[in-house]
Structure 1
Amino acid sequence: MTAAPAELVFTKRSVTHSLRNIDSLVTAIVAPVAIMLLFVTVFGAALDTTVGGAYADYVTPGVMLLCAGFGAALTATSIHTDVSKGFIERLRTMPVRASGVIFGHVFASVLRNLASTAVVMLVAVALGFRPTASPAQWAGIAALLAAYILVFTLIAAAWGLAAASVDSAGMFSFIALFLPYLSTAFIPVENLPDFLEGFAAHQPVTLVIESLRGLATGDPDAGTTLRAALWLAALGAAATVLTVALFRRAARR
């Protein structure tokens, strides 16, 4: 089996495992949808004045990232399971690149989480989300979401390789779920406690959310989008280097 077909086989394997893991699949979609329903239907009327417009338009980009990040974080558990159960070690005795398993997990995560994010967006439209983006801006939204999912998946891959147990690998899901709450996902930064404002204003999740919000409303800010792209590029490069190093360390065990 050549390297390229092997990558595709492992991608298909990862997607198949995701579809069979009903609990994780439902959680990755239902949790963000439930959060969307909660904030828009319960708190939306009260928060419309806080955000200066329809709350559904404000909150949707943040919930999309919450969905994407949480789904990508599940990769940590999948990769740790493959390592701990010896699946990757068995591949080393075969004419297949064992690193293709990591590629399969990463690529499948991007595909899977783009689909689940699209579901969240459809729910948001049903709740009143009215984007005014042009076709080019929609392409920017898709590219930014894909980059965010890729970066979070790479970080999750490194976390899964470094984790000592399945439980510790699963902890990354809580981090991914928690980060959007410390951003402008749900309320503007000036409405956060003073000690959180600095972090929330400059952390990468906020920059990506504000970029998506600007693109969705047809009024993107080039500076914010550039800073978001630079953050994602830096985090992605660091996560890639760390994943490669941890994978090699795992091979020497």
Structure 2
Amino acid sequence: MNQTWVLGQRALREAWRTPEAILPTLFIPLFFLVVNVGQAARIFPSASTDFLNGQSYGAFQLPASLLLAASFGTAALYLVEDIEGGYFDKLRAAPVSRAALVLGRLFAEFVKGVVIAVAIIALGMVFGIEIASGPLGFVLLVLLTALWAVVFVGLLQLIALKTRNAAATNSGSLIFFPLMFLTPNFVPRELLTRPMEIAATFNPVTYLMESQRSLILDDLDWGTIWPGFAVVLVVGAIMLAANVRLINHYD
């Protein structure tokens, strides 16, 4: 655990020293939020749109921005830099747990995910978005976003460890965009066409989005909340096992 803590601190310092890599993580999701709300808010007025529960369309769109912010995966690119520069081989030669090499960066990504989620939610609240599930809902919303950030960057770390190539790792992050657009992003799932509804049902990101949306628009509805946490826990367990296995067999 101490090795994980030390390596996590190092990963956080990397992020702190390169703010130009963090700023897009905030700017791009907020840009999409403003654009999507600007295009559709008048179509779905809060007073007459049942699925908004009296809130603005921005509250409905906020989960998409949170998930987008959590899906940049910059930590995996830092890992590629370590591999290409030879520092990763030095870490492997040191008396450091192989699991700690994986967990350190994932811990740092969790911390960054918490900070970014709090910043985006707080900004949304400044513009009138309310968290209907209260303080506990706020904590769960931040936690779910940060856990997804860990899962996604862990999947990108698999690409980084396998290919050892920055271009391949960066391209891997693009998989999130088709997953995002195959969700009930603009309207609830029951309003989608049948083919889109089927695609959204089989898309794990849908359950993350619906869980976050429930925390924002409803009181604590555990029947909608728990599937989002189930997705990050199951996919996260698979991701972690694959990372540890891959690094243990790293030549």
The two structures have a TM-score, normalised by structure 1, of 0.86
Residue 20 and residue 110 in structure 1: after superposition, are their counterparts in 2 closer, same or farther (change >3 A)? same
- Whether 2:9 is the aligned partner of 1:12: answer yes
CA distance in 1, matches of 2:71, 2:106: 13
The residue type equivalent to 1:132 in the other structure is A
- Which residues of structure 1 form unaligned runs of 5+? none
Aligned residues of 1:51 and 1:58 also touching (Cα < 8 A): no
Written as runs of structure 1 = structure 2, the 5 A alignment for 1:212-251 is: 212-250=212-250
Partner of 1:102: 102
The residue type equivalent to 1:95 in the other structure is P
CA distance in 1, matches of 2:70, 2:8: 18
- Whether 2:32 is the aligned partner of 1:35: answer yes
Aligned residues of 1:88 and 1:98 also touching (Cα < 8 A): no
Identical aligned residues as a percent: 22
Paired residue for 2:21, among 2, 21, 24? 24
- Classify the secondary structure of the residue corresponding to 1:59: helix
Partner of 1:176: 176
CA distance in 2, matches of 1:23, 1:88: 23
Residue 13 and residue 218 in structure 1: after superposition, are their counterparts in 2 closer, same or farther (change >3 A)? same
CA distance in 1, matches of 2:114, 2:99: 23
Aligned residues of 1:67 and 1:116 also touching (Cα < 8 A): yes
Which one is further off, 163-172 or 93-102?
93-102
Aligned residues of 2:208 and 2:231 also touching (Cα < 8 A): no
Which one is further off, 188-197 or 25-34?
188-197
Residue 128 and residue 163 in structure 1: after superposition, are their counterparts in 2 closer, same or farther (change >3 A)? farther
The two structures have a TM-score, normalised by structure 2, of 0.86
1:111: how far off? 0.6
- Whether 2:63 is the aligned partner of 1:61: answer yes
CA distance in 2, matches of 1:177, 1:26: 19
1:169: how far off? 0.5
CA distance in 1, matches of 2:95, 2:237: 28
Aligned residues of 1:132 and 1:216 also touching (Cα < 8 A): yes
Partner of 2:89: 89
CA distance in 2, matches of 1:142, 1:231: 16
The residue type equivalent to 1:107 in the other structure is F
CA distance in 2, matches of 1:201, 1:32: 24
- Classify the secondary structure of the residue corresponding to 1:92: helix
1:30: how far off? 0.7
Residue 40 and residue 79 in structure 1: after superposition, are their counterparts in 2 closer, same or farther (change >3 A)? same
**Alignment RMSD:** 2.3
Corresponding residue pairs, total: 246
Aligned residues of 2:75 and 2:109 also touching (Cα < 8 A): yes
The residue type equivalent to 1:105 in the other structure is R
